[in-house]
Structure 1
Amino acid sequence: MDGYDLVDVEVTHESADGLLDSLSEDARVGDHTQSVQAVRLQAGQPDSELRSLKQLDETSVKLLEHQVDAAYRALFEMGGKALLADEVGLGKTIEVGMILKEMHFRETDDSVLILTPAQLAKQWQAELREKFGLDFVCNYDDEFSGFDDHDYIIASIDTAKSDRHRSTVLKRDWDVLVLDEAHYVKNEDTDRYDLIDRLSYNYAFFLTATPIQNELTDLYNVVSLLRPGLFGTRDVFHQYFVNSDQETLVNRNELQERLNEVMIRNRRADTDIDFTDRTVDTRQFDQSPAERELYQAVSDYVKGAYSQNQGQKLVLMLLQKEVVSSPAALKHTIEKRLHEQSELTHADELETILDLVENIDTITKQERLLDIVEEARDNVEKGRVIVFTQFRATQRQVLERLASEGYTVHSFHGGHSSQEKEQIVEDFEEDGGILISTDAMSEGRNLQFCNMLVNLDLPWNPMRVEQRIGRIHRIGQKRKVYIFNMALKDTVEEYVLERLYHKIDLFQQSIGELSSILSRLEESGTSFEDEIFERLVNAGSEVDLENDFDDMAIDLQEQRELADKLEEFNSGVFDGFDLGASDD
């Protein structure tokens, strides 16, 4: 729990009164500042409405009722300091856009710093410009010349905390701070937390869909950065609000009142948004004899090498994933390994695998991919399809194959500059065709103009699968979404897909639900991918492997039940604290 243990204490009426006094005293510390900020926001402008909304172009942005309400409450009921904690996909960025537009209208935004994960900085910049007419410089722009040279800046939080920029960022008094994905600063022992803790600002808006990920301390740390003193000290918070086993809350009404001062959380179920349907089509294909021989040779090599030297684990795991992605991906890694380590054990086996790669004339997945994209060419607007793969070598091979068939193709990977990535997305939207992407595309980007996605190979971590799907299945998507999963029969890919992903109903869940399942499963320190690999290499037979994956599926179902209980707990925190326990 971020380095702190829950305090095991029975809260009596007498001690509760003392703790409440302590909480109230801490909360009063910032009252005067809050009042000054609120007055400044309202100066010269009545706060009965968001006046800047009249300036917005309705063709650029469609504002939803819950978003307008959130912006209004953040500005005028919370004094310009708010935690926007809507569930995934409800448009928290739009809420911030409205807030910043209104502050610009009221001239209370002399300097604004927006901190985001690196991959989302350019998207924030584009959305604020296109939807709200707000111009920000991004730290990835050529014209960016430092945090003391511009008044409206969007930057990755890791750039801001770097040795090069940290002192400059902290030296300024910022009018407005926006922090995206605020749960990344929940750990007070990190440089990110320390940066936000030391920043000077008048107004602040934090965004997160998961204010509680594992412990109530997550919520305490994030809220205390935004509104210091609201919950008192950490010890007081634990003693006053949490009982020793952390399964029920005490003094829930008081916690609710304090959260209502700073947090806004809209849930999908409570909005009138009609998300489009998601159709999942899983296609499994028989391997050719040459592909089957190659897969068996790689699996045998991986098992043998791992049993002798566990230090090779990451490379061996990579080979097991690449063999079901493409011969090109496998060949690239083996040749690199042979070149870099001339005295490599099992070199003869790797040379044999390379010979088997050369024997493959037809790549089953790529041929079957042609069937899918041909359907799209006839039935989907501009024939747009996004094809995801984990490997650059696979990406290059697929690009060549599709281009040879006359398709318009686009390539997206982590090696592109920020400007190149923006241009690729624009070209894909304008020209249509097939976008072949690595997982560099899988977080944050908005691609609602496309409604068809193919997982050419499947990551072993289900979060990454849902992140891919989330690029097209989100607010703004007006059509049914089609997801195609491709897998080779009798491979680890089939086991992962059929025995794990379908057991937890992966393709119908949200990022938040998956995060809860996986975070609780991985508390032991073993990742989801590690677990799959260990079961794969340690199985003595095909029957053992099937049984092992069935056992893992049962574990997942149990974790899902725990995740459901966590959701009930969160609902208690956010939606009235009705957890069936009386206040002490």
Structure 2
Amino acid sequence: MTDTLLPDTPVSHPEHGQGRVVVDTGPTVIVRFASSIESVLRELLTVTPSLSHALSNGLLDDSTGTLLRAQALAIRSVNDQWGVFSRSRVQLLPHQLWVCHRVNRSWPFRWLVADDVGLGKTIEAGLVLMPLIASGRVRRLLVLAPAKLVPQWQKRLREMFDIRLQPYARAVDTPQMNFWDTANMVVASIHTLRGEVTDSSRPSAFLEADPWDAVVVDEAHHLNADERMGETLSFQLLRAMEERRKISSLLLFTGTPHRGKDFGFLSLLSLLRPDEFRPDGDLEPQLAKLPEVMIRNNKATATDLRGNLLFTPVTVESREYSFSEDERTFYDTLSHFIVDGRAYASSLDGRAQTARMLVLVTLQKLAASSIAAIRSALLKRREKLAATAGEARALATRSDEEETLDDQAARDERTPFEVLAELMEGEVERLDELIALASPITQEEKIRRLVHLIDGDLPPNEPVLLFTEYKATQALVVDALHARFGHGACAFINGDERLDKIRHEDGTVGAKTWPREAAAEAFNKGDVRFLVSTEAAGEGIDLQERCATLVHVDMPWNPMRLHQRVGRLSRYGQTRPVQVFILRNPATVEARIWDLLNAKLERIQQALSRVMEEREDIGQLVVGMTGASFFEQLFADGQTRDADGLTGWFDRKTATIGGEDVVDRVKAMLGNVARFDFAQVGRNLPKVDLPDLERFFSLMLERSGRRVMKREDGLEVKTPSDWTEADYALQDRYSGLIFDRSANLGRLGATRLVGVGHRLFDTALSHGEKSEGVLARVARLSEPLLVVSVEDEVTGQGSSVNRLVAGATRRDGQVLVLRDWELLQELNGLGRSDAPTANSKIRIDLPALEAELAAAIDGQLPSLAEMMTRPRIRTEILFLPEEAPAAA
């Protein structure tokens, strides 16, 4: 290559790929490639054919190579923007594709995704990450989640996208083998890693490791900061990473972004954009910036690709029961015990008062669950007090902000017998009285009503998901279901994966274990009819495959838990309306407080619905903004209130819930966030999927000398030898290859499902992009078809989509502009041409034709390339009808 390379000359580089010359400086040439501008050695560049040169000569290229190049460009363009060809094994939804499109408009990306529960955050994360991993832009990935959700993230990203994350554990991180020096794709517990900011005895290998190309944080509300209490350790961990410039792109997921205090909300946003969000700054101007940093989609507006709503409203019904005489006597006595205990505790100061109040609140919550639960706690407490009279133990405080729902429930269940200080004088005698009243009660009316509900209100064999707060109540329910419906009808999930004192089929009583994943799988497959869970299934597990019926055996005092419970069934993939039943004793103060609370939340909903453009279930947001501790205290204090004055007390106590400031904050937040709107965006969504890749794949392999064989279980192909020589990880032969997400692919699904990210397909795509055809005749084309690429003239804007393609042709006398996915559909319908390519002269005015079609595309650039600052069109390929006139 000796002649000076003119600007815009198309060239190819072995490392950087295709590009165009900016300026030829002699020994080196400055070239603009897809993602960067580089100064490269002139000797490494190869001039590639250009359409303008081919048009001036009128010489045609091979139709197959040209068609493959055009298909490869279109496939890459569609997937880079939407992730639609990623190898997810679930059907993709419009809002998920839109989230991928929105996030990938910028690089590095910085977003908070606050979608409603059940809309597929793992899928959204995979769609965002997969194109970036496939293109090599993301090589180091870190996913941070609560400890109990770490296995779920590892499993789902592997099964749905073949993204293989290595779980972090302290046991694998030793001085001899530094985990962070070798692991590039990691999932870790954020609660485990937060110790990296507190242990000053040693340098942090984690914080000193190489920067991460992308970090994903689940349950990001744990990254909390408070004006008075300071920052949680999880927040400090992310801030320490940011200060050390260890995070390039950051993606946060949470269903409750605003926890009631603007300071915490703005602090969370400051992790994403510290230059635009400050917790001590004015709120209003910062809310105006939310569309560029926060996304929220909700079930009320989620649709399929045809615009049909996906979710039907959840129906909630109560089933009432009454106490037996013995139960009423026990509860009245317990109420007096608690009132006396609270009176005694209120006379104390400091931690002594806090410890006693905490025990009393826990006893109230256990009693609201079942007599079995409170009896178990009373017995254990009686044993402790008898064994350790006069001793006391300090209560270690823990922050609700850093606990999962199951952690909180487990803490509550332990508290009565971990705190050894007596509640009041004479407590042992009072406990003996309560235990004596509770012991004869072996058949609880609540459980009788539950069995009657299942027997009388539900169809035979209807799968049912049941929730309890405590294991003692869980064991009671499991025994009752086994007694009525037979042993083997019921599985359970709890934090310990074990239940004690369960009656076995042979009549003996003992322990039974159910691993969490095994219990969920048995329920989803239909091996058991019932699944009884504590809050251990309230997060991070999908149970919608067969089940659409949920029963709240007891009601947690944190309303957020109700939303999490229902979210196990009301999520994508649910094919039936979800029905929820609540077991309720109207004579209890707890039931009356729930009635008042639900009525208040409905009034808030109505107030917001009148001013919001679209329906949004804001109960979750209002509850989240109010905080779990408020509701805990509300129910605890209400238990000792006189029934006649309960309503007035409740109104005074909850005056700030849904107050004008809260409603205004919710309106401002929801009114400013970015959200998917099918009416506005639906027409631009790519209406292509994995089957649209098969034509390119088969044609590419055939051109490489390999025949694709169609078998009953999928495609079979022998890999081209030059491909395996260049990439040792490719197999010599593949069989059972499928371009269908809905197919039952079994255990080998990760290797059989073909799409972007499959090693063989990625190799084919790379070879297709390197094809050099620019002008060709093709069969089954009636009008000329122009393919153009669009690039941003302004560099450094940070878009993760550096190049996209579009097409233009004539249809019914008008020029029709084709988006990249429409172009791919058009290309898939074309065929190879046997017309001669050498010494052929085209008799039509090709430059004028090119100019006409390119001008039509230019007119639609604002919508085609919305993520670009100054998009510029470059003509790439022109296809001509096979019968176009030619002369030798």
Q: Is the shorter-chain TM-score for this pair beyond 0.5, marking a shared fold?
A: yes
Q: Distance in 2 between matches of 1:314 and 1:221?
A: 30
Question: Contact conserved, 2:634 with 2:653, CA < 8 A, in 1?
Answer: no
**1:535 corresponds to 2:616:** no
Aligned residue for 1:106?
135
1:347 alignment partner, SS class: helix
Which of these residues, 664, 668, 682, is aligned with residue 565 of structure 1? 664
Question: Contact conserved, 2:570 with 2:578, CA < 8 A, in 1?
Answer: yes
Which of these residues, 359, 383, 393, is aligned with residue 462 of structure 2? 383
Aligned pairs for 1:40-439 (under 5 A) are 48-50=77-79, 53=83, 55-56=85-86, 60-139=89-168, 146-163=179-196, 167-173=204-210, 174-187=212-225, 189-199=231-241, 200-231=246-277, 238=281, 242=282, 249-250=284-285, 256=288, 259-268=290-299, 271-272=302-303, 273-310=309-346, 311=353, 312-342=356-386, 343=389, 345-375=426-456, 378-379=459-460, 383-405=462-484, 406=486, 408-416=489-497, 420-430=515-525, 431-439=527-535
1:485 Cα shift? Answer: 0.7
1:76 alignment partner, SS class: coil
1:371 Cα shift? Answer: 1.8
Moved more, 49-58 or 270-279: 49-58
Q: Distance in 2 between matches of 1:180 and 1:135?
A: 17
- Cα 1:533–1:76 change in 2 (3 A) is closer
Aligned residue for 1:552?
650
Q: Which has the higher helix share?
A: 1
1:158 Cα shift? Answer: 0.9
1:223-249 deviation per Cα after TM superposition (whole angstroms, max 9, x unaligned): 332234245x666xx2xxx3xxx5xx3
1:378 alignment partner, SS class: coil
- Cα 1:518–1:266 change in 2 (3 A) is closer
1:436-479 deviation per Cα after TM superposition (whole angstroms, max 9, x unaligned): 11122212322222211111111122222222222212233221
- Cα 1:432–1:561 change in 2 (3 A) is farther
Q: Distance in 2 between matches of 1:422 and 1:527?
A: 33
- Cα 1:490–1:507 change in 2 (3 A) is farther
TM norm structure 2: 0.53
Question: Contact conserved, 2:373 with 2:470, CA < 8 A, in 1?
Answer: yes
1:407-449 deviation per Cα after TM superposition (whole angstroms, max 9, x unaligned): 5111211113999322221122121311111122212322222
5+ residue gaps, structure 1? 1-35, 577-584
2:78 alignment partner, SS class: coil
Aligned residue for 1:477?
574
**1:452 corresponds to 2:549:** yes
How many residue pairs end up in the alignment?
A: 513
Q: Distance in 2 between matches of 1:419 and 1:358?
A: 28
Moved more, 565-574 or 215-224: 215-224
**One-letter code aligned to 2:518:** Q
**1:513 corresponds to 2:606:** no
Moved more, 283-292 or 420-429: 420-429
Question: Contact conserved, 2:549 with 2:578, CA < 8 A, in 1?
Answer: yes
Question: Contact conserved, 2:551 with 2:580, CA < 8 A, in 1?
Answer: yes
**One-letter code aligned to 1:125:** Q
1:71 Cα shift? Answer: 0.9
- Cα 1:305–1:282 change in 2 (3 A) is same
Q: Distance in 2 between matches of 1:316 and 1:506?
A: 32
Question: Contact conserved, 1:521 with 1:556, CA < 8 A, in 2?
Answer: no
Q: Distance in 1 between matches of 2:604 and 2:450?
A: 20
2:478 alignment partner, SS class: helix
Question: Contact conserved, 1:383 with 1:432, CA < 8 A, in 2?
Answer: no
**One-letter code aligned to 2:637:** E
**One-letter code aligned to 2:205:** T
Question: Contact conserved, 2:589 with 2:638, CA < 8 A, in 1?
Answer: no
1:517 Cα shift? Answer: 4.3
Which of these residues, 35, 39, 51, is aligned with residue 35 of structure 2? 39
Moved more, 138-147 or 264-273: 138-147
Q: Distance in 2 between matches of 1:437 and 1:361?
A: 21
Q: Distance in 1 between matches of 2:617 and 2:587?
A: 29
Q: Distance in 2 between matches of 1:459 and 1:403?
A: 25
Q: Distance in 2 between matches of 1:185 and 1:68?
A: 27
Moved more, 509-518 or 492-501: 509-518
**One-letter code aligned to 1:179:** V
- Cα 1:516–1:355 change in 2 (3 A) is same
Q: Distance in 2 between matches of 1:193 and 1:154?
A: 18
Moved more, 137-146 or 492-501: 137-146
Q: Distance in 1 between matches of 2:476 and 2:312?
A: 33
**One-letter code aligned to 2:482:** A
Of structures 1 and 2, the one scoring higher in RCO (CA 8 A, sep 6+) is: 2
**One-letter code aligned to 2:221:** H
Q: Distance in 1 between matches of 2:183 and 2:73?
A: 27
Question: Contact conserved, 2:560 with 2:623, CA < 8 A, in 1?
Answer: no
Q: Distance in 2 between matches of 1:350 and 1:513?
A: 39
1:290 alignment partner, SS class: helix
Question: Contact conserved, 2:112 with 2:294, CA < 8 A, in 1?
Answer: yes
1:364 Cα shift? Answer: 0.8
1:367 Cα shift? Answer: 1.4
**One-letter code aligned to 1:485:** I
Q: Distance in 2 between matches of 1:357 and 1:184?
A: 40
- Cα 1:482–1:399 change in 2 (3 A) is same
**One-letter code aligned to 2:577:** K
Q: Which has the higher strand share?
A: 2
5+ residue gaps, structure 2? 1-31, 38-71, 304-308, 347-352, 390-421, 499-512, 607-615, 676-888
Which of these residues, 467, 489, 494, is aligned with residue 564 of structure 2? 467
Q: Distance in 1 between matches of 2:442 and 2:255?
A: 47
Question: Contact conserved, 2:300 with 2:617, CA < 8 A, in 1?
Answer: no
Q: Distance in 2 between matches of 1:535 and 1:37?
A: 67
Question: Contact conserved, 2:296 with 2:674, CA < 8 A, in 1?
Answer: no
1:383-415 deviation per Cα after TM superposition (whole angstroms, max 9, x unaligned): 321111111111112212222220511121111
Q: Distance in 2 between matches of 1:571 and 1:413?
A: 35
2:523 alignment partner, SS class: helix
1:20-72 deviation per Cα after TM superposition (whole angstroms, max 9, x unaligned): xxxxxxxxxxxxxxxx999279xx988732159565457x2121222212212
Q: Percent identity?
A: 29
2:658 alignment partner, SS class: helix
**One-letter code aligned to 1:168:** A
**One-letter code aligned to 1:516:** V
Question: Contact conserved, 2:256 with 2:624, CA < 8 A, in 1?
Answer: no
Q: Distance in 1 between matches of 2:519 and 2:588?
A: 34
2:77 alignment partner, SS class: coil
- Cα 1:353–1:260 change in 2 (3 A) is closer
1:550 Cα shift? Answer: 4.5
**One-letter code aligned to 1:94:** I
Question: Contact conserved, 2:299 with 2:310, CA < 8 A, in 1?
Answer: no
